[in-house]
A and B are shown apart, each in its own frame.
Chain A
Amino acid sequence: MAKKKTIRTIPQERTPMREQGPGERVRNFGEVACGYRLEEALREADRCLLCPDPACVEGCPVSINIPGFIRKISEKDFRGAYDVISAANFLPAICGRVCPQESQCEGVCPVGETLEPVAIGRLERWVGDLAITEGWANIPYIESNGFRIGIVGSGPAGMACAADMAKAGCEVTVYEAFHQPGGVLRYGIPDFRLPNEVIDAEVERLRRLGVKFECNTVVGRLFTIEQMVDEMGYSAVFIGTGAGYPKLMGIPGDSLNGVLSANELLTRCNLMHAREFPAYDTPLPIGRRIAVIGAGNTAMDAMRVCLRLGAEKVHCLYRRTKAECPARAEEIHHAEQEGIEFHWLANPVEVLDDGKGNVRGMRCIRNELGAPDGSGRRSPVPVTGSEFEFATDMVVFAIGTNANPVIGQTSKLRLDKRGYLEVDATLATSMAGVFAGGDIVTGAATVIEAMGAGRRAARAMKAYLGIRDADVADFTTPAGSAAKLFGIDLRERNFARIRIA
């Protein structure tokens, strides 16, 4: 390596990513952010200080060796960069696009203390996209170990778990309720943020690892979790079904026509291609003046989908302020650019009927911020007498989800008070051999957190099955060597059987 880089010697400005202009992009579903070109990626890679004790790796839920892959980019060993990423993350093209990097790796990047942090997400995406176009896939030599793993849900948690278990030599089958795999990546995240081709490519890569996908399979109803470990002979099962039971506000008028959940809007548009109606059969009538309630990533997606489907004006109502809103910074920025109008500290109390069962408006109330609540954010307090009417012909609720009840209804797995699956620190459920992770355990979170959970569950499953590989040894301390002696997991020094069942 050449002279040591310092904060003074690196390019000071963060390399911008080319984007479709707001005026143009609201008329299509093409990706907003176009990705780096080679020279842009090299320039941005040059901004990384290659810290010896990298904070970003700690900040990454799947502990990607971030300086490692950035160094490979700088060395123009792009395949090497992909190898480094794919050791920890099988889906870089997806994560580079949808991770909230500002609160993870980039949030702790030392460069960010003085300048803007290194654009780690953009670099990861660049490598991921290159791997897709070049057809790279790190298919290791896999020796079958005879274990059969059943995975429920083909979303990010299930895919991450499937990748790890397949690489460990297990025969993995992923069950998906919809007719196409991908889970929330497919039905939830719109094409302009995550193109379907990227999901297809990542799914295909899993197939090449030997993972089987079985669509149209509603586990719990077609067969139960108990049947999977019992008569179907799965050695272990991972449940990653997602949260998915949309919340409604429970206010008068919320069953009027023109009121729908963001989940329904996005599913119709993304999975069912309602935007191509009538070439595709699923309709999605769109209002002219739309109000989206909530300001998370789902709300941002819903609003921007509405614009692209031809809405004249899209408004966002959020009960707190911009400072508290949970969406990714880039998404809010994009939404603002596209002309979404934000109404902070406003909340509907009633949806108004036009007399024919359709929405004609909402009665709303203004809030002010009160004391911090359980989430640490200041809670919204309604201001008495501040009610106002808001004209709208379509209301979309993007205010979160509750636990999906299907697995709870059909199995004896223990649930917590809110209906989510109860797991211990290793993500093991109350049933031996059954693990769970992602939104069905934590409630609605992010793609990368679900992937992280899928990987942690995979490590626990390997330990449970007595499969020894590098990942198992890493179980307790992801970065360190304290738990290992001559490459042997310290827990394996005794003669206790690791496999319990």
Chain B
Amino acid sequence: MPGARAGSGFEIVSREDFSDVTYLLQVHHPLMAKAARPGQFVIVMSHEYGERIPLTIADFDRNEGTITLVVQAVGKTTREMQQSSKAGTSLYSLAGPLGVPSRIGQAKKAVCVGGGLGVAPIFPQARAFKESGAYVIGIVGFRTKDLVFWEAKFRACCDEFIICTDDGSVGIKGLVTEGIRRTIEKHPDIDEVVAIGPPIMMKACAETTRPHKIRTVVSLNPVMVDGTGMCGGCRVKVGGQVRFACVDGPDFDGHQVDFDDLMTRQRRFTKEEKAALERWSESCRMKNPAAPDSPPSPSPAPFSNNSSNGLPELPDPFEEVEGG
């Protein structure tokens, strides 16, 4: 094995499950904890045969020397990690922090919006705004009450905190855009909105703020390979120009981003993603015919309740817009 760190890897020191699809990994990497800034991301390979996936850094602790990743199990790699990445195990590769750090400017009043997989990465931004002395309004969206996480963490750094749920089981019933609308009504002096989540949710946020001409920053997370500007797979159209999310971003002006183009490009590998997931689910079944305890607790494995054709439901990450 030629990998320089092969065998050692990057140790996962703790793990927490927020729901049956969302889990948190705290990874030991003192140098990265020191270097990380809000808005940056990492590229992770869970094992030698794995693919390189971009994950936003949800938090970093310079004293403990750890970075925190919050992962949503949507495809083969993230579901496999859900099973295999436990405290004490290691990630094969972890490169970062990547991307240009978010510009935490002179905003006096900032709104931080997180939907779905964007809830965790919006947290360091909210905290950074707070530390810079801004009045921070946090808005997060979930499908339902049971999926809510980090409420206390957000409340600690937000002057106002709004939860939106699709079913109204907690907070506002509706999408995060509803939360933004109400916030704009209440606060005419918002300097900046930062929105992180699935493309369709960020698009909706940008459209909500556009008539009010509020600076709106979105964090894009397209398919990447290297994350260092080398492959161009993550190119996005911003203001009619081609930019690479990995080195020119990931933050861009939400009013300039061509979201339709982004969403089309995110479907590049739909067929292969589905095939990989099916094959993997099949191999899991073969390994554990009974499979009562193989999925990590507390989450029931997504494939154990599969549909009649014997295949798992593949959630389309862009339709599944919790809180979007």
A: which residues have CB within 8 A of B?
176-182, 187, 196, 199-200, 203, 212-218, 221-223, 242, 244-246, 248, 250, 254-257, 260-261, 263-264, 267-268, 272-273, 277-283, 285, 357, 404-406, 409
Name the B residues within 8 Å of A223 (CB-CB).
Answer: 31, 35
Given contacts A268-B225, A279-B49, contact A180 B248 (CB under 8 A): no
Given contacts A215-B93, A218-B95, A267-B230, contact A200 B2 (CB under 8 A): yes
Name the A residues within 8 Å of B87 (CB-CB).
Answer: none
Which listed residue (A182, A217, A255) contacts B95, Cβ 8 A?
A217
- Contact across chains for A222 and B275 when beta carbons are under 8 A apart: no
- Contact across chains for A404 and B228 when beta carbons are under 8 A apart: yes
Given contacts A180-B2, A257-B265, A406-B229, contact A277 B92 (CB under 8 A): no
Which listed residue (B94, B248, B261, B275) contacts A216, Cβ 8 A?
B94
Given contacts A223-B35, A279-B49, contact A404 B98 (CB under 8 A): no
> What would be 21 A-B contacts, judged by CB atoms less than 8 Å apart?
A177-B95, A177-B226, A177-B228, A179-B93, A180-B3, A181-B2, A216-B93, A222-B35, A245-B229, A245-B230, A248-B235, A248-B242, A257-B267, A261-B233, A264-B231, A277-B272, A277-B276, A278-B276, A283-B51, A285-B268, A405-B247
Tell me, yes or no, whether B76 is within 8 Å of chain A by CB: yes
Name the B residues within 8 Å of A272 (CB-CB).
Answer: 51-52, 225
Tell me, yes or no, whether B133 is within 8 Å of chain A by CB: no
Name the B residues within 8 Å of A176 (CB-CB).
Answer: 4
Name the B residues within 8 Å of A181 (CB-CB).
Answer: 2, 4
Nearest to A409 among chain B residues (CB) is B100
Nearest to B32 among chain A residues (CB) is A222
Within the complex, what minimum Cβ distance (angstroms) separates A416 from chain B? 18
Nearest to B276 among chain A residues (CB) is A278
Name the A residues within 8 Å of B38 (CB-CB).
Answer: none
Name the A residues within 8 Å of B273 (CB-CB).
Answer: 283
Name the B residues within 8 Å of A218 (CB-CB).
Answer: 95-96, 98, 227-228
Given contacts A404-B228, A404-B247, contact A221 B93 (CB under 8 A): no
Instruction: Flag B268-293 by CB within 8 Å of A: 1 or 0 each.
Output: 11011101100100000000000000
Tell me, yes or no, whether B295 is within 8 Å of chain A by CB: no
- Contact across chains for A222 and B97 when beta carbons are under 8 A apart: yes
- Contact across chains for B100 and A255 when beta carbons are under 8 A apart: no
Name the A residues within 8 Å of B247 (CB-CB).
Answer: 245, 404-406, 409
Within the complex, what minimum Cβ distance (angstroms) separates A166 from chain B? 16
Name the A residues within 8 Å of B187 (CB-CB).
Answer: none
Docked complex: B1-56 residues within 8 A CB-CB of A: 2-5, 10, 31-32, 35, 40, 45, 49-52
Instruction: Flag B83-96 by CB within 8 Å of A: 1 or 0 each.
Output: 00000000011111
A23 to B227, CA, bound (A): 37
- Contact across chains for A263 and B93 when beta carbons are under 8 A apart: no
Tell me, yes or no, whether B232 is within 8 Å of chain A by CB: yes
Which listed residue (A216, A242, A281) contacts B51, Cβ 8 A?
A281
- Contact across chains for B226 and A283 when beta carbons are under 8 A apart: no
